[in-house]
Amino acid sequence: MPHSITSEKGSEPGLPQATFRFRCIGCGALGHAAAQDFRCSQCGNLLEITDPSWKSASLPAAALKSLWRERRSSHLPLDLSGVWRFRELLPKPQSEQLVITLHEGNTPLYDLPQSSHSTGIARLYAKHQGMNPTGSFKDTGMTVASTFARQAGYRWVACASTGNTSASMAAYTARGGMRSLVLVPEGKISWSKLSQALDYGALTCQLRTDFDGCLRLLQELVRRAPVYQLNSINPFRLEGQKTLAFELLEQLDWQPPDHIIVPGGNLGNSSAIGKALLEMLDLGLIPRLPKLSVIQAEGANALVRTLREAGGKHLVSVQAETRATAIRIGNPASWEKAVRVFHATGGACEQVSELEIAQAKAEIGAEGIGCEPASAVTLAGLKKLLRQRFVKPEETVVLVLTGNLLKDPDFTMEFHRGDLFKGTAHQQESARLNPFRHPPVVLDATLDAVIKTLEQAEKSEPMHSND
Ligand code: F0G
């Protein structure tokens, strides 16, 4: 049974007639429709969504802010979504009934007292997108893109994924009464993400290739079969993901932080956040731009190399390898969009090692919030940017945590048991992470044994320090 939105009689007006256009980020061509592969029919570059009504018909900045704030106390289904609450700056579906929502967004902005202390950054926050309905930031984009898939009348949707996109797509399209096809690299995604897709009813194919191979195959598939592509190359996804920035700025009372730090994989999310920041500046919602920095794993550092070795002019793809499987991507589809926002906001692009990721993940866990490995690159990257003096202790910094701790329990268990780097080149060096490990203790079921263990633990302080 599709989950749809209905507006109550006498409530504020619903969604007006669509006024948005697709615009090619390369040649600037504008169109009302997009091809199946979401590429420009003239030059082959990626498309983005633009809407003149965002500027012309939009309320003044102060009125928009108060309208969005008022909606926080509304019980209308559209307002309960942390995405559609900002609908004045989103593409508009033909009717509210088409909207598929699981009340996504509305994610917390946490302070990080222990990391603040160890880095010396007093105003350090984590925007935790892992608190979305399926446990990752993908839900904010999926509510919009799945809605437009339904509007276009598709029966089948599909994605290639490192796990989170597929979990999110499967959930939203199940709610919307569509069928979904998932292409994932066999053995390279976490069981918890795979199990979500299964439970939500997706047709799940584990392909004997990597993520990049899955994506290539998907792009061929959508040219041949009436299947709607829900990867982040689909510009509707990025429109929904923009709302992370709207919500974050609202939580900061519209005072822009100095830095926003985000993990980089296929580079859709950094592109979306950058687009939102530029639109907010253009509409007078914020007085200046935060610097948007992108952090990658050393073993999956295509954007880092693209900027360093090719000046951002062409993509330097890599054979990706990292235990942060969500960002194990060597040929990122949205690299050109990411390069643009990177230049526009003046951010940095850095890479971090497997050990740095594991330590940062344990430190975010020790704050009582946790995240998946890919999200932890943000804290690891922040430490590097601090050492380079790109970030200064007196500045305000927001880390975007993209996925929930429970997304990759194998990584967490292996880390705490001391097995994560066994048999790898990092084995010896990984001993320095021992103070961050909290392995489970197996005991005889006696009071004596438990008290002895408690006394031992009392002698050792929990570790939380940055190098
Ligand atoms: N963090 C997590 C938890 C992710 O799942 C992803 C991407 C990223 C960061 C990187 O975001 O691709 O927009 O740069 N996951 C993909 C997936 C690609 O299929 O779930 P990006």
Q: pLDDT, tens digit, for every residue of 377-412?
A: 999 999 999 999 999 999 999 999 999 999 999 999
Q: For residue 59, report the distance from its CA to the centre of ligand 1, in Å.
A: 33
Q: For residue 263, report the distance from its CA to the centre of ligand 1, in Å.
A: 8
Neighbours of 13 (CB within 10 A): 7
Q: Which domains does the chain have, with CATH numbers?
A: 109-133+240-411 (3.40.50.1100)
Which residues, judged by CB distance below 6 Å to any ligand atom, belong to the binding site of ligand 1?
Answer: 136, 138, 161-165, 232, 263-270, 326-327, 372, 374-375, 402-403
- Parallel, antiparallel or unpaired: strands 291-297 and 259-263: parallel
Cβ neighbors of 196 (< 8 A, separation 6 or more) are 134, 135, 166, 167, 170, 171
**Ligand 1, atom 19, residue with closest C-alpha:** 161
Tell me the residue type at 410: D
- Parallel, antiparallel or unpaired: strands 227-229 and 291-297: unpaired
Testing ligand 1's pocket by substitution, the residue of 139, 402, 405 carrying the most ligand atoms inside 8 A of its CB is 402
User: Phi first, then psi: what are they for 260, rounded to 5°?
Assistant: -120, 130
Q: For residue 75, report the distance from its CA to the centre of ligand 1, in Å.
A: 31
Question: CA 412 to CA 416: how far, in whole Å?
Answer: 6
Handedness of CA 17, 54, 232, 255 (dihedral sign): negative
Question: CA 412 to CA 437: how far, in whole Å?
Answer: 10
- Parallel, antiparallel or unpaired: strands 227-229 and 203-207: unpaired
Testing ligand 1's pocket by substitution, the residue of 134, 138, 164, 293 carrying the most ligand atoms inside 8 A of its CB is 164
Q: For residue 113, report the distance from its CA to the centre of ligand 1, in Å.
A: 26
Weakly modelled stretches of the chain, pLDDT under 70: 1-17, 461-467
> CA–CA distance from 460 to each of 436, 438, 454 (Å)?
12, 11, 10
**Cβ(166)–Cβ(231) below 8 Å:** no
Question: CA 3 to CA 342: how far, in whole Å?
Answer: 37
Q: For residue 44, report the distance from its CA to the centre of ligand 1, in Å.
A: 24
b/e burial code for range 109-147 (CB count within 10 A of at least 16 → b): ebebebbbebbebeebbbbbbbbbbbbbbbbbbbbbbbb
Q: Give residue for tokens 């809407």.
A: 51
Q: What is the DSSP string of 40-56?
A: -TTT--BEEEE-HHHHH
pLDDT of residue 464: 52
pLDDT of residue 59: 84
Q: For residue 393, report the distance from its CA to the centre of ligand 1, in Å.
A: 28
